[in-house]
Amino acid sequence: MKNIIILLFITFVTACGYNSGTSTSEPVAYLYFTGEAKGAMVYIDDLAPFKINKTGIKNQYQVIPGKHQVIIKHEEKILVNRNVLLGDGHEKEFFVPKVH
C-alpha cells in the first residue's frame, strides 16, 4: 500500500511540473477588406501604409490586438475612417465603398 501511495505521489508531482513542448504564440488580430478595396491604401495608426492587393475573408492582414484607427484611401480620397478595438484572434471586415 505504501508503494502505491509513493508511486501515485511521484506520478502526480512529475505530471504537474513537466511542460515539454508548450509554447505560446504572439497575440494577433486580423483585418480583411471587401467591396471596392483592391488598390486602396490602408493607414493604421502611425504605421507605414500598405496597398490592398487581395480582398475577401481568405486574404487577411495581421495586426496587433488593441485599439486602432484605420483609414482607407483611394487616390487621396478617404473612403473609410474608423476606430476599432480588436481582441486576440479576432477578425474584422472593412467594407470599402465605391469611389465617387
Summarize pLDDT for 48-89 with one digit per residue, the tens.
999 999 999 999 999 999 999 999 999 999 999 999 999 999
Give the architecture-level CATH label for domain 26-96.
Answer: Sandwich (2.60)
Beta bridge partners of 22: none
Q: Judge whether 86 and 66 are in contact, CB under 8 Å.
A: yes
**Which residues touch 52 (CB under 8 Å, ≥6 apart)?**
33, 37, 38, 39, 40, 41, 42, 72, 96
- CB-based contact 44:84 (threshold 8 Å): no
pLDDT of res. 99: 81
* pLDDT at residue number 1: 60
Which pTM was predicted? 0.73
- DSSP code, position 15: H
List of residues 6+ apart from 96 with CB closer than 8 A: 33, 34, 35, 36, 37, 40, 52, 72, 74, 79, 80
Which residues lie across from 80 on neighbouring strands? 72
